[in-house]
Structure formats: C-alpha cells, structure tokens
Amino acid sequence: MKFKSIFLLVLLSSFIWSGVASAQTISKEELTYLTADWKGERFADGRPKISDNLLERAKVIMIDDAWAVLKNEGYVNQFEGNWKMVNDMPMTGRAVTAVYLPSRPDLEKQIKDRGARQGRKGNTNAWPIDILTKGDLYVADAFGKIAGGGIMGATLANSIISKSGNGVVFDGASRDLQEIRNIKGFNAVVRDFHPSYTEEMVLSGLNTPIRIGRAVVLPGDLVIVQPEGVLFVPSHLAELVVSTSEFVIRKDKFGFEMVRTGKYSTGEIDSQWTDKIKDDFVKWLEKHPELGKMTRAEVDKVMEKRTW
C-alpha cells in the first residue's frame, strides 16, 4: 500500500512538472496533429523543431522571394506588415505562440489559480518566457492593445534574449524603448510603444494557433523578420522556402550580370528561361563556387513553379 502511494505521488509530480515544462493549453497530441505535415524532429511538447542551420540560412534570404514560394503552395495568409521595430535588424526563429484576452475577473482567476498550482510565478505575461529555448521567437497576439498593453519591458526583454538569443513579435505594445535598444542583438517588432504597464489583459493560450493581423501562426513556424514586415512560414515548408529563396538570390545575381553585359535582355531574364539560359546559368555558377553548385536537373525542378 505504501509503495502504491509513493508511485501515485511520483506519477502526479511528473504530470505537474510536465504541465510546467510544456505550459500549453493544447496537448502534445493535438499540436502534433495540427502540424502533421512536419516530418522532422519535435520538442518534448510536440512543437516542430526546425534546424539551427535552417534558421541561419533564412536570415539572408529576401522576404518577397519567400512570400512568392508560399503563395505558389497556396499559403496566402502568412505575412503581416505595418510594424515598429526596436532595431533595424533581421530575425529568424521558431515560433512560440501566445494569445492574450481582455481581462475578465472569473476567467483571470481560474487561469492564475491553475498557473499557481503548476508552479508558475509572476504575472501571466511572464509565463511564455519561461518555456523559451535557444532559437525560439516569442510571437504574441495581444489584440493590438497599446495603452495598458505593454506585455514586455526591459526586464522581460533581458530574460527573453538570455533564454532564446532572440527577440519578439507582438501584435500589441512594449515599454522601455530606450533601455531595450541597448540590449545587444535584441529586436522587438510591435504595433507601438507606450509607457504603461500591462493592465486589464490576461494570457489565455500558450503554444496554440494564433492570428497576427491577417496572418495565421502555428507553434514551430519559421518566423522571418525583415524591414518589410514579418513572414510566418509553416514548418513543413521551411526547407522549400529557404532553398528556393537561396536559388533566387543566385538567379538574380546571374540575371543582373547578363543584363549589364547585354548577353540577354530583361525580357529574356524575367520570363521562363530557355534551355540555353539554363545551361549558361549552370556554367556561370561553376565560376562562382561561393554561391554553391547546381545541376541542370536541379535548375529545372526549382523553376517548375516560377512566379518570381
């Protein structure tokens, strides 16, 4: 009997710890189901784990090229613009998602009581930060609230970069702009800045599907931040988007040179390539090994759905 009691206590403790570690409002099974097209490695909570190498490669691609690839695949609700940025620097990361609601006393009490039982501390806007790991990018739907909507200040920003090495994307506000600007390597993409603290809002979902403006975001998405705005790439399309965008960079360099030298016209370069242009492109790449090699077959494949 004593052994059984100890076993139940250990089992209960494991369950509670698991709840703290994953800290999400949907189960691992549900998250895995919603991201079923992802076939690679996952975090313990089921979130797709895009490789660090892919995150690095994504930093140098052009957001319009990446958007065109997504559109070709039928994903037209993945971009959102009209932001303010702390620093003019690109960011890439794996999405950790959070959604906030206007405060309602009974709902907020239940959420905070459950959080306390699970060992979570502080206000609910600190909870998403507790689960961040290196390479994550914290993305929050804060319903565009500005006054009383600052879900991050300098203290939380320092915690975020220490855990993730990354910044944030908030459909809401931040405070402490001057201090945040001094955090090396940190960037925040927000609707606006405001001196107020978080007021009348509560975290209602963590690592769930969310909406950021006109874009849909799932946990584990590849987030690409550039001056134009933010693109949310479904995890299962991340490799395709990055590799195709890398090809477009090579294609553009080749095209610029061909137009400048007069070998081909802009009309020839900006339409479907002839076999002769494709062969010349492969030969040109051989003279520019820093851009990587491609076979003729690889060129044919990547240009099948060309709209860029």
What are the structure tokens assigned to 122, written together? 């502080």
d(CA 308, CA 177): 38
Q: What was the pLDDT predicted at 26? A: 84
DSSP state of 121: -
54 — pLDDT class (breaks 50, 70, 90):
very high
62 — pLDDT class (breaks 50, 70, 90):
very high
Residues linked to residue 42 through DSSP beta bridges, in sequence order: 48
CA-derived radius of gyration, the chain:
23
Amino acid, res. 141: D
- Is 99 exposed, middle or buried (CB count within 10 Å of its CB: 0-12, 13-18, 19+)? buried
Calculate helix-pair angle for 63-72, 238-261, nearest 10 degrees: 120
Task: Tell me if 269 sits within 8 A of 259, measured CB to CB.
Answer: yes
Q: If residue 116 lies in a helix (H) or strand (E), which one and from where to where?
A: helix 105-117
**Which residues make Cβ contacts (< 8 Å) with residue 94, sequence separation at least 6?**
47, 48, 49, 50, 55, 135, 136, 137, 220, 221, 222, 223, 235
Q: What was the pLDDT predicted at 307? A: 65
DSSP state of 48: B
Task: Tell me if 249 sits within 8 A of 288, measured CB to CB.
Answer: no
Torsion of CA 124, 217, 95, 30, to 10 degrees: 80
Q: What was the pLDDT predicted at 82? A: 96
Mean pLDDT, rounded, of the chain: 90
For 38, 273, 277, the CA distances from 118, given in Å and listed in that order, are 30, 59, 62
Go through the domains of the chain in sequence order and give each one's CATH number.
52-234 (3.50.30.40), 239-302 (no CATH)
15 pLDDT more than 70: no
For 210, 258, 277, the CA distances from 214, given in Å and listed in that order, are 10, 39, 39
Amino acid, res. 147: A
How do residues 109-129 score in pLDDT, each as one tens digit? 999 999 999 888 889 999 999
